[in-house]
Structure 1
Amino acid sequence: MSLQSLSDNDLLSLLRQDDEQAFRELYDRYWYKMYVIVHRKLRRKEVAEELAQELFVMLWQKRNSLRVINLPAFLGVSLRNLMIDYIRRHIQEEHYLDQLRRFFPTAVMATSEAVQLNELTEALQHALAQLPEKTRDIFILNRFENLTIREIAQRLNLSEKAIEYHLSRSTLFLRRHLRDFATAWILFYLI
């Protein structure tokens, strides 16, 4: 029997039994549809490909625990959540880059300083992307949105000790990953 003739629910049952061919059939059925949805909303081909791919990676990783009744609806909601997370990360990145630009206006700087700032900004962005999401969010709230530990704890419903832990962790990580920059005085301002 061909897998193409099976219903989504039959394919999901096979998927729960680690059937890679069933996964492949679901992927072939829905990947492009998910890609189109993201591409229409975000208008970025690479992001659409990445988020559609991430959706199916999640489907495979959670195959044994998923209890899905309507696969297209499940995929749509999951994809919407991935897009929201992407947009939230993108907005946060833009926000802290704006903060850096405001603190260090490039019009006043010499060319070499502007280049160094751009390199530092890229390195900071790359290093922040490597942090776990909660740690990164707490760092951004504290350093770029100027919230106190108490305010962050209340907003995220965490203890102040947990916030301190995440700030300490992010600070050490960033110091380690950004120590090669000659503009250490910028780091001391940020950290």
Structure 2
Amino acid sequence: MALNQLTDNDLLALLRDDDEQAFRELYDRYWYKMYVIAHRKLRRKEVAEEIAQELFVMIWQKRESLRVINLQAFLGVSLKNLMIDYIRRNIKEEHYLDQLRLFFPAETLATSEAVQFNELTEAIQATLAQLPEKTREIFILNRFEHLTIREIAQRLNLSEKTIEYHLSRSTTFLRKNLRDFATVWLLYYLS
């Protein structure tokens, strides 16, 4: 029997036995549907493609332990969770980018300055992404949401010394990795 005539459950059984053709059939059967749903919700083609792809990478990686009764429901819930994770990550990033834009409104910058500002913004974003999650979160709360050490400690249920440690770690890391962008603003903002 051809793979395209098998049920989802039959394909999942084959997938658990490392059958790449069964995986390909599931991928061909559902990838576009998952992409359309993600695109409809997120309205960003590249992000929707990435999330749909991530969903199937997860399925392949967990194929041996995957126990699914209703594949379409499983795909829908998994896709929803991936989209929520994406939105949560980007809310923080968008917030701090908005803060940067407020500090340096792009309309007031000359073309070369706007290019330099965009490069700096991208460099800060990329450098922050390299920090451990907790350190990054504390830095963003302090520098972009303007919370005090005490407020952050209370919000995250950590000691003030721990918050100070993470802030010191993040500013040192940013200074080191952004030294090419050592502008007066950056030196002021990270001190």
Which category describes the TM-score, using the shorter chain as reference length?
Answer: 0.7 to 0.9
Range with greater deviation from structure 2 (162-171 or 80-89): 162-171
Change (3 A) 1:131 1:28: farther
Query: 2: CA distance between counterparts of 1:63 and 1:161?
Result: 43
Range with greater deviation from structure 2 (143-152 or 86-95): 143-152
Query: 1: CA distance between counterparts of 2:14 and 2:162?
Result: 42
What is the CA-CA distance between 1:23 and the residue it aligns to?
1.2
Q: Which residue of 2 aligns with 1:40?
A: 40
SS of residue paired to 2:138: helix
Q: Which residue of 1 aligns with 2:120?
A: 120
Q: Which residue of 2 aligns with 1:77?
A: 77
Query: 1: CA distance between counterparts of 2:10 and 2:162?
Result: 44
Q: Which residue of 1 aligns with 2:22?
A: 22
Q: Which amino acid aligns with 2:78?
A: S
Counting only pairs closer than 5 Å after superposition, residues 52-67 of structure 1 correspond to structure 2 as: 52-67=52-67
Q: Which amino acid aligns with 2:144?
A: F
**TM-score, normalised via structure 2 length:** 0.81
Q: How many residues align?
A: 191
- Contact 2:136–2:170 (Cα < 8 Å) also in 1: yes
Query: 1: CA distance between counterparts of 2:156 and 2:59?
Result: 28
Change (3 A) 1:132 1:2: farther
SS of residue paired to 2:36: helix
What is the CA-CA distance between 1:32 and the residue it aligns to?
0.5
Post-superposition Cα deviations, 1:41-87, rounded to whole Å, max 9, x if no partner, equal 12221111111011111111222233222211111111111112222
Percentage of identical aligned residues: 83
- Contact 2:171–2:190 (Cα < 8 Å) also in 1: no
Q: Which residue of 2 aligns with 1:142?
A: 142
- Contact 1:116–1:183 (Cα < 8 Å) also in 2: no
Change (3 A) 1:166 1:62: farther
Q: Which amino acid aligns with 2:27?
A: Y
What is the CA-CA distance between 1:104 and the residue it aligns to?
3.3
Query: 2: CA distance between counterparts of 1:43 and 1:107?
Result: 26
Change (3 A) 1:168 1:30: farther
- Contact 1:153–1:160 (Cα < 8 Å) also in 2: yes
SS of residue paired to 2:69: coil
Change (3 A) 1:107 1:154: same
Query: 2: CA distance between counterparts of 1:135 and 1:143?
Result: 12
Post-superposition Cα deviations, 1:134-179, rounded to whole Å, max 9, x if no partner, equal 4433322232112344544554455666655544443343223211
Post-superposition Cα deviations, 1:116-145, rounded to whole Å, max 9, x if no partner, equal 333211211222234444443332223211
1:102 aligns with 2:102: yes
Q: Which residue of 1 aligns with 2:2?
A: 2
- Contact 2:11–2:22 (Cα < 8 Å) also in 1: yes
SS of residue paired to 1:54: helix
Q: Which amino acid aligns with 2:136?
A: R
